[in-house]
Structure 1
Amino acid sequence: MKLLKTTIFSGIITFVKIASTFVASKVVAISAGPAGVAIVGAFTNFITISQTFANGAINNGVIKYSSEYNGDSIKLKTLISTSLRITIYSSIISGILLILFSGFISSIVFMNELYVNPIRLLGLTIVLTSCNTLILSVLNGLGEIKLYTFVNAIGSIISLIFTVTLVYFYNVIGALYALVFSQSIILLVSVILLRKKAVLRLFFNVQPIDKTIAANLSKFSFMAIISALTMPLVQIIIRNFLIAKVGIDESGYWQGMMRISDGYLMLITTSLSTYYLPKLSSLKTNGELKTEIYNGYKVIIPAVIVSCGLIFLLRFLIIKVLFTSDFISMEKLFIWQLLGDIFKICAWVLAYLMLAKAMTKLFVITEIIFGLSYIIITYFCVIKWGVLGASIAFAINYFLYLLAMVIIFRKKLSKNE
């Protein structure tokens, strides 16, 4: 599976996801304004955290070992059976906790208890979402990129339909319900689309949990939990801090900027997750790793720089098309956010080595350090520059993260084979 081929298929996924996400954002922006965008963003972050715990945080491990065991049917069946059991058990526990503590969670995530019912619904349906995520991880690891692309694209379209419909009838609360419903329905779609494929039959070969495979997956679980907790929690903290310091509308501008950033970078991040993780996992020598990273930079970095340049030049049009005229003040955030995005992707090309090679300790340390530094830098920057300071802090933090990745991996990859 070549990087260019993967990027093309990733581009298809990304186009559909971006279109779906931005249409949904436009509907929410028109219906509920900047405050509604901030609320939906908070719930999106929380769902990311919840889903990570609900599937046992094993997705990256499943991708890695599915890639390694491709061709060995016995090991592959054992991997999938063990992963499925872990996913179901973790989902049940997570669902119960979400239902029992829905009021407390709502007060933390939304700063009030008005949204307990969407959280309870998430608890009831999260096992369905987790099983679908597991299926997609296996498709990714096995290199079934066409199937992976198709299932993802259909899922994004379904999510868009639910969002537009429920926001039309129920405003912001409808958007929250849509986030939960659409994720659950996608499992049914995946099963229908894959019903005649050999990969789906692997999930019906139920075996006891294999302790060795479970132990290997646990290394990735710890990294995934730290990753899933760090950035969404950091964004929740920053969002609440912005609401307290500059108001919920200003927080909505920042959330809108983050959505634009996440949207156009989805092509790059999807390529990294679908290509780099299984590819880097399969490479054994430092020479091979350095060559692959160099080739990745030749394709990815020019694409990011060109994208950022175009987005900056078209920023006023983008705001009007994706949001409303109420969001025009967010244009001042673009330059720093886009600069931070360039630093972010440059760093991530290197950072994926930590996932591919299960560098658990290093991954955890860097995630925590730079999560905390983002909060601290944001605090001082917002005090000085208001909401603009949040974007400045984003750029500063990812520049420091890139420096750290370069120093760490220059030393590691320069060692003898």
Structure 2
Amino acid sequence: MNLIRTSLLSLIATSVKMLASLLIGKAVAIVGGPAGLATIGQFQNFVQIVLTAAKGGLDTGVTKYTAEYGGDEGKRRSVLSTAAWLCGATCVTVSLVLLIGARPLSEAFLMTSAYAYVIRLFGLTVCLFVVNSLLLAVVNGLQETRTYILVNIAQSLLTLFLTIGLIAWLGLVGALVALATNQSLVLVVLLWAIRHHAVIRWSNFRAGFDRAEAVRLLRYSAMTTVSAIVSPLTAVLVRDHIAGTLGQNAAGQWQAMWYVASVYLTVVTTSLAVYYLPKLSATLDHEDIRSELKQAFLIVMPIVTLSASAIYAARKWIVQLLFTDAFRPMLQLFGWMLLGDIVKMASWLLSYLMLAKAMTRAFVVTELLFSATFVLLAYVLVNRHGLVGVAYAYTANYVLYLACIVVVTRRFWRPVPFSAT
């Protein structure tokens, strides 16, 4: 299955996911307004951080080594069993932290202890999410794209129905409860889909702990954990600064713009996760890597550029449809944010090489460095230019990041010098 076919299948799954996200976002905007959307954004970022810690950032490594070991059943069983041991340890630890520290965590991220019960509920269900994430990583590594995408479609629909039902019943609190539980309840869909699977069997996850495989997985854990924790933490810091400088409604405008960008880019990022990462991981020949990169750029960049252009042209209609009149100030963010998205996707196509080739040090350093520069640029430019300053910071940061990644990954994509024999 090539990138084009995977992208088309991903488009179907993403269309469902986008529709679900749009309906959920509209419901939150109506119930809570800009301030409510900012609160939901804070909790979403908290959920991302917790879920990454709970699964130990191991899903990318599981995908890579499941794909790389191919038909070697012994090695594959070893990596699955080792991953299960590691995930079990991390999810139990995180669950206890959530249950014990619910009140201070609620005060730190949601500015009130009133939602401590939501965090305790999250603590009770987080281990189910870890199981769901681990099994999906295995399906992805086996390159069973059809199953992977169909499960994602079903899970998106279940999330939609549960979330809309809870919002209708409990209002903004319902949205928080949905965020705390939906990631775990969708496990039932995946278990049904793989009930007769030849590889994903209980026996393959209890073969013991392999120290060498653990070291390999933890190298990936370091990369994915840093990325998945630093990104939402950065968003929290930037949103807090906007709220403290310009008010909670301004933070909600920024959250709405971030939400629009994340929704339309999902089709591309899904394709990269489903096809691109396993393919790069399994590809060892220099010219084949160059070929995959070239194909990805030729397919992905025109799609992202056309999508961003269409969204910019329809920005007024999008704000009216997805949100309410209270969100009109976000219109000033579209131009620079969409430009930043184009640059971001170009940089991500190259940065996936660092994941695929286990460039742990380079990946961690660049993630930490450019998360810090985004926060710094946002603080400076918001103070100087107001709300639009955060969009300036977003684009400027990704321009710097792209320039850095071009240099860091050049040995994989530049032509091999010809040498006469």
TM-score computed with the length of structure 1 as normaliser: 0.97
Matches within 5 A, 1:2-401: 2-201=2-201, 205-401=205-401
The one-letter amino acid of 1:150's match is L
CA distance in 1, matches of 2:416, 2:302: 30
Verify the 8 A CA contact 1:223 1:360 in the aligned structure 2: yes
Distance change (3 Å), C-alpha of 1:146 and 1:411: closer
Quickly say closer, same or farther: Cα 1:315–1:415, change in 2 above 3 A: closer
Distance 2:278 2:72 in 1: 16
Change (3 A) 1:295 1:204: closer
Instruction: For 2:87, give the aligned amino acid.
Output: T
Other structure's SS at 1:220 match: helix
Q: RMSD of the TM alignment (CA)?
A: 1.4
2: CA distance between counterparts of 1:414 and 1:169? 56
Kindly provide the CA deviation profile for residues 106-135 of structure 1, in whole angstroms up to 9, marking residues without a partner as x.
122122222211111111110000100111
Partners of 2:80 and 2:204 within 8 A in 1: no
Q: Are the aligned partners of 1:159 and 1:179 in contact in 2 as well (CA < 8 Å)? A: no
- In 1, the alpha carbon distance for the partners of 2:203 and 2:21 equals 30
Q: Is the 8 A contact 2:293 2:413 kept in 1?
A: no
Deviation at 1:198, TM superposition (A): 2.0
Could you tell me which amino acid in structure 2 is paired with residue 211 of structure 1? R
In 1, the alpha carbon distance for the partners of 2:112 and 2:61 equals 36
1:76 positional shift: 1.5
Contact 1:343 1:399 in 2 (8 A): yes
Question: Structure 2-normalised TM-score?
Answer: 0.96
Distance 1:347 1:282, change over 3 A: same
Whole-angstrom CA distance in 2 between matches of 1:101 and 1:284: 46
Could you tell which deviates more after superposition, 284-293 or 46-55?
Answer: 284-293
Residue identity matched to 1:301 = M
Give the partner amino acid of 2:229: L
Letter of the 1:266 partner, please give it: T
d(CA) in 2 for partners of 1:209 and 1:6?
34
* 1:198 alignment partner, SS class: coil
CA distance in 1, matches of 2:165, 2:18: 18
**Structure 1: how far apart are the matches of 2:330 and 2:98?**
34
Q: In the TM superposition, what is the alpha-carbon distance from 1:209 to its structure 2 partner?
A: 0.9
AA paired with 2:40? V
Q: Which runs of 5+ in 2 are unaligned?
A: none
How far the C-alpha of 1:88 sits from its partner, in A, is 1.6
Cα distance change on mapping 1:310 and 1:413 into 2, 3 Å? closer
Deviations 1:164-212 (A, max 9, x none): 1111121111101011221121112211222122243256651211111
Structure 1 letter corresponding to 2:181: F
Residue 72 of structure 1: how far off its partner (Å): 1.7
Q: Distance in 1 between matches of 2:358 and 2:294?
A: 21
Moved more, 276-285 or 231-240: 276-285
- Identity in percent: 36
CA-CA distance at 1:287 after TM superposition: 1.9
In terms of mean alpha carbon deviation, does 107-116 or 275-284 score higher? 107-116
3-state SS of paired residue (2:112)? coil
Cα 1:355–1:207, aligned 2, differ >3 Å: closer, same or farther? Answer: same
2:200 aligned counterpart, secondary structure: helix
1:159 and 1:412 map into 2 onto residues whose CA distance is 40
Q: Which secondary structure does the structure 1 equivalent of 2:171 belong to?
A: helix
Number of matched pairs: 417
For the residues of structure 2 that align with 1:229 and 1:56, how far apart are their CA atoms?
11
Q: What SS does the corresponding residue of 1:115 show, helix, strand or coil?
A: helix
Alignment-mate amino acid for residue 20 of structure 1? A
Secondary structure at the aligned position of 2:114 is classed as coil
CA 392–91 in structure 1, closer or farther in 2 if over 3 Å, else same: same
1:351 Cα offset (Å):
0.2
Letter matched to residue 273 of structure 1: A
Unaligned runs of 5+ in 1: none
The SS at the match of 1:265 is helix
C-alpha displacement at 1:411, in angstroms? 4.8
SS in structure 1 at match of 2:57:
coil
SS in structure 2 at match of 1:114: helix
Deviations 1:212-250 (A, max 9, x none): 111100000111111112110000001111110001111
Equivalent position amino acid for 1:197 in 2: H
